[in-house]
């Protein structure tokens, strides 16, 4: 049986992470399995430290046991730790992309460094939920790095939606099913 991939995107503070956590927890409850959270954010400033703390507290309040993996880049390094009983939540793709771009600015290698481990995760775990940000709705700056980032993120979104059994856009806390069958 192929692992289900659920792709969830939305704007900043749209409620996408909360919806993703609820989706993963519901899968664990319905299908059994252990919950894993792959955190890609680095606590780089006070605002990010507060967001990370808020996400951790939210998961604790949810009443489900989560194992958190700090993985800011090189996602492939942790894939082997997951098995067929695991429900994995990756939050978030946009930060993972930025971190990978800092390591290696080559566009084709950056895409491969993200897509290959996601494909491998799909093969290893029971279900995979990937969260991303919808940053492409606003005009991008004309600087080369921002344009490159926007194009790469758009390509990643398209590739993941192709691979996904369900894709959601979350706006103002309301998840809108864009692909798949409502469960």
Question: Could you give the number of structural domains in the chain?
Answer: 1
Place of tokens 């004309």: 142
Contacts of 73 (CB under 8 A, 6+ apart): 40, 96, 99, 100, 102, 103, 113
Write down the pLDDT at residue 130: 98
Q: What is the pLDDT of residues 59-110, one digit of tens each?
A: 777 778 899 999 999 999 999 999 999 999 999 999 999 999 988 767 879 9
31-35, 46-50, 97-101, 137-141, range with the lowest pLDDT: 137-141
Rounded to two decimals, what is the model's pTM? 0.91
- Percent share of the chain, pLDDT over 90: 65
Contacts of 11 (CB under 8 A, 6+ apart): 133, 134, 135, 137, 171
Active site residue 55: yes
Contacts of 101 (CB under 8 A, 6+ apart): 110, 145, 148, 149, 152
Secondary structure element (H or E) that encloses residue 133, with its range: strand 127-133
In this predicted model, which residue has the larger pLDDT, 115 or 2? Answer: 115
Place of tokens 């926007």: 150
Alpha helix segments (H runs only) across 64-106:
93-103
Place of tokens 């009443």: 63
Question: Domain of 66: which CATH number?
Answer: 3.40.50.300
Write down the pLDDT at residue 13: 86
Give me the domain span that covers residue 158: 4-179
pLDDT of 148 > 90? The answer is: no
Strand locations in 30-173, DSSP E?
34-39, 66-70, 86-91, 127-133, 166-171
Place of tokens 């927890």: 25
Write down the pLDDT at residue 140: 62
Residues 36, 55, 72, 157: which is the catalytic one? Answer: 55
């Amino acid at each position: 049986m192929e692992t289900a991939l659920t792709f969830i995107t939305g704007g900043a503070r749209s409620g996408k992470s909360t919806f993703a956590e609820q989706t993963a927890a519901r899968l664990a409850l319905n299908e059994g399995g252990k919950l894993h959270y792959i955190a890609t954010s680095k606590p780089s400033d006070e605002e990010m430290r507060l967001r990370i703390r808020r996400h951790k507290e939210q998961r604790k309040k949810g009443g489900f046991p989560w194992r958190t993996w700090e993985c800011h880049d090189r996602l492939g390094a942790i894939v082997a730790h997951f098995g067929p009983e695991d429900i994995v939540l990756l939050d978030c793709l946009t930060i993972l992309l930025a971190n990978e771009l800092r390591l290696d600015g080559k566009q084709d290698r950056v895409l491969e460094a993200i897509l290959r481990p996601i494909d491998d995760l799909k093969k290893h775990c029971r279900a995979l939920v990937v969260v991303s940000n919808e940053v492409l709705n606003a005009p991008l700056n004309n600087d080369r790095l921002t344009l490159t980032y926007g194009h790469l993120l758009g390509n990643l979104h398209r590739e993941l939606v192709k691979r996904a059994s369900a894709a959601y856009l979350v706006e103002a806390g309301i998840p809108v099913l864009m692909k798949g069958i409502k469960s």
